[in-house]
Chains A and B, each alone.
Chain A
Amino acid sequence: MVEFFAQLRARGASFRLSKGAFHRISAILTVLILIVIFSVASPAFSSTNNAMTILLQTSVIGMLGIGLTLVIITGGIDLSVGSVLALAGTVTGLVIKAGVPVLPAMFIGVAVGALCGLINGFVVTKMRITPFVATLGMMMMARGVALELTGAAPVSRLGESFSILGQGRLFRIVGEGPHGLPSVVFPGIPYPAILLLLVALSVAYLLRRRATGRHIYATGSNEEAARLAGVKVDRTKIIAYTLSGALAGLAGIVLMSRLGTAQPNEGVMYELDAIAAAVIGGASLMGGVGTIGGTIIGAFIIGILRNGLNMAGVSSFIQQIIIGFVVIVAVYIDQMRNRR
């Protein structure tokens, strides 16, 4: 496998592909290989229905991963996204219970996530606490608040409209079956997947076309140089953490909406999947490197692995082992590529 990548790399170099593009291509190839393997292992895997399920499952990790990519490019880390997801989702549920209509309630949820991120940003930049410790603290606090607010019980009976975002589908086609029963011709594209696409496009635009995006890269690449060049380094970092929090909030609402209830225990360890997605996608924990396209592919690699292994009847313990292994291999390949 490693040799295979080495060969590919040599070929890539002769075509004068950029490092980023090459990484993207090898990651897409990995996705294709996974799809082939899982399709052979279980025929149900390659059904349209299951493809849409994977899209749905990947949406949440994808959104968290995009937020983490921003933070990782600045040279930081955000361990709080799993807990912030739970807090934002439960606050949305509680606010709806209190009588607020669904849409404004969801905005409140995203705002709660953004607020958590803003606090992370302040603790990291103004109090000069390392990102690992700052966001570890937020991870515990956000989870604690979510559990305290709900008494650790799920917030249910939120009404049908609460579930539209997570369960609705675009272009769902239902035809008439053989016995006059409805049969699903095309299951439809899940709204969360469409939302993920919109989020990915806007954040990619921010990173590539806006000065703020350039400053995010510069800050992670060489913070002192960025500061000397007049980049407002603290402000740039605060923006990254706030966006990460807001996206965690959005992911929380999507997830709870899909479940139909707001659960304070959801999202435990999701931050690790999100970090893995970013890292598999080529983001460097040293800062300065990472793309949204890469992270999306990374999220799909994890989503497909989980789904395919489930379909093939592999236990969740073995799944952990495999995903852990994949993360290490992905980073190893990336390092070899950079050492060249």
Chain B
Amino acid sequence: MSKPSKNATPLVDMKNIEKHFGGVVAVNNVSANLYAGEVVGLLGHNGAGKSCLMRILSGAMTPNEGVISVNGEKVELKSPLDARDLGIETIYQTLALANHLNAPSNLFLGRELKTPFGNLDDKRMLEESRQVLHRLNPNFKNLLDPVSSLSGGQRQVIAIARAIYFNVKILIMDEPTAALGPSETAMVSELIQELKNQGIGIFLVSHDMHDVFDLCDRVMVMNKGRNVGTHHIEDVTKDDVLSLIIKGELPGGWTPGKKEAVQ
């Protein structure tokens, strides 16, 4: 699964994506793809344009240029709802939680469970939330408190739970473990493995080289808005990736698969 065959249709295919804010070019002619059952790590310095590229795929931001195809079909992602209808779920870097609402209300925001009369089914939403949250963090108790009073890690767990609860096919994780402790982080790694085995495609934005090398099949590095390289994880070393992140290019004399030769 780690090297998908070249002729399979990618789950996601983004071509020549551009996004500018006034004079700032946040995403500069970037192309990227993602296959089913694959984890693609997205790395880059702060402000490289990773979140912008991901937000474009989740329908939260409209690109100035570029074409996005899902399962080989060209799609228009005008709103987060469009993306969601295609099975694209996102864990935003900002978490995107409504602070005054509790965990179940946030988890089901925009797709509330309802009784046959169309009333909110808070009881069932609480029960379901309890299950999915406990899976990620067994100590999660205060489900009825507004999320503003929860810890950063608990908030992140809600954001993750929200993305995996529904029928996800393409998962975007923008620094999903930034606020998590070691055991929760391990839980998320396990989760990524499991989702991957189910054939879900994952974009994982991270600054943690260790996680990326553990979990990803391919890495893609962005530098100043450009895609400066997409490589199979076996073809590069951490130093290669670091060089891509910082300088925007591979070290001199690099050839694919050099990793084995060095070791």
Interface residues of A (CB under 8 A from B): 208-211, 213-215, 217-218, 220-222, 224-231, 288-289
Q: Are the C-beta atoms of A214 and B100 separated by less than 8 Å?
A: no
Q: Are the C-beta atoms of B90 and A225 separated by less than 8 Å?
A: no
With a cutoff of 8 Å between Cβ atoms, the chain A residues found around residue B10 in the complex are none
Q: Are the C-beta atoms of A221 and B101 separated by less than 8 Å?
A: yes
With a cutoff of 8 Å between Cβ atoms, the chain A residues found around residue B95 in the complex are 225
Q: Are the C-beta atoms of B101 and A211 separated by less than 8 Å?
A: no
Is residue B111 contacting chain A, with contact meaning CB distance below 8 A?
yes
A-B contact pairs, 13 of them (CB 8 A): A214-B120, A217-B100, A217-B101, A218-B109, A221-B99, A221-B100, A224-B94, A225-B97, A225-B98, A229-B96, A229-B162, A288-B99, A288-B100
A20 CB to closest chain B CB (Å) equals 10
Give the contacting residue for A228; candidates B80, B111, B112, B118; CB below 8 A: B80
Interface residues of B, dominant DSSP = loop
Is residue B114 contacting chain A, with contact meaning CB distance below 8 A?
yes
A256 CB to closest chain B CB (Å) equals 35
Report the nearest A residue to B119, measured CB to CB. A209
B240 CB to closest chain A CB (Å) equals 35
Which 6 pairs show the lowest CB-CB distances between chains A and B?
A230-B110, A288-B100, A221-B98, A229-B110, A225-B96, A229-B109
If A210-B118, A211-B120, A214-B112 touch, whether A230 touches B100 (CB-CB below 8 Å) is: no
Is residue B168 contacting chain A, with contact meaning CB distance below 8 A?
no
Interface residues of B (CB under 8 A from A): 58, 60, 79-81, 84, 90, 92, 94-101, 105-106, 109-112, 114, 118-120, 162
Give the contacting residue for B96; candidates A208, A222, A288, A289; CB below 8 A: A222
Q: Are the C-beta atoms of A289 and B110 separated by less than 8 Å?
A: no
Q: Are the C-beta atoms of B119 and A228 separated by less than 8 Å?
A: no
Q: Of residues B94, B114, B120, which shows the largest number of chain A Cβ atoms within 10 Å of its Cβ?
A: B120
A107 CB to closest chain B CB (Å) equals 25
Inter-chain contact total with CB atoms closer than 8 Å:
74
With a cutoff of 8 Å between Cβ atoms, the chain A residues found around residue B109 in the complex are 214-215, 218, 225-226, 229-231
Report the nearest B residue to A287, measured CB to CB. B100
Q: Are the C-beta atoms of A288 and B118 separated by less than 8 Å?
A: no
With a cutoff of 8 Å between Cβ atoms, the chain A residues found around residue B114 in the complex are 211
A221 to B58, CA, bound (A): 22
A63 to B94, CA, bound (A): 38
Give the contacting residue for B80; candidates A218, A222, A227; CB below 8 A: A227
A208 to B105, CA, bound (A): 12
A240 to B79, CA, bound (A): 22
Report the nearest B residue to A231, measured CB to CB. B110
Q: Are the C-beta atoms of B84 and A222 separated by less than 8 Å?
A: no
A338 to B120, CA, bound (A): 28
With a cutoff of 8 Å between Cβ atoms, the chain A residues found around residue B94 in the complex are 224
A289 to B95, CA, bound (A): 21
With a cutoff of 8 Å between Cβ atoms, the chain A residues found around residue B92 in the complex are 228
B176 CB to closest chain A CB (Å) equals 15
Report the nearest B residue to A205, measured CB to CB. B119
Q: Are the C-beta atoms of B101 and A224 separated by less than 8 Å?
A: no
A227 to B118, CA, bound (A): 22
B251 CB to closest chain A CB (Å) equals 39
A40 to B117, CA, bound (A): 50
Q: Are the C-beta atoms of B120 and A210 separated by less than 8 Å?
A: yes
With a cutoff of 8 Å between Cβ atoms, the chain B residues found around residue A215 in the complex are 109-110
Report the nearest B residue to A224, measured CB to CB. B96
With a cutoff of 8 Å between Cβ atoms, the chain A residues found around residue B79 in the complex are 227, 230
Report the nearest A residue to B105, measured CB to CB. A214
Q: Are the C-beta atoms of B90 and A228 separated by less than 8 Å?
A: yes
A178 CB to closest chain B CB (Å) equals 55
With a cutoff of 8 Å between Cβ atoms, the chain A residues found around residue B60 in the complex are 227-228
With a cutoff of 8 Å between Cβ atoms, the chain A residues found around residue B99 in the complex are 221-222, 288
With a cutoff of 8 Å between Cβ atoms, the chain B residues found around residue A211 in the complex are 112, 114, 118, 120
Report the nearest B residue to A226, measured CB to CB. B98
A217 to B148, CA, bound (A): 14
A230 to B118, CA, bound (A): 18
Report the nearest B residue to A288, measured CB to CB. B100
With a cutoff of 8 Å between Cβ atoms, the chain B residues found around residue A224 in the complex are 94, 96
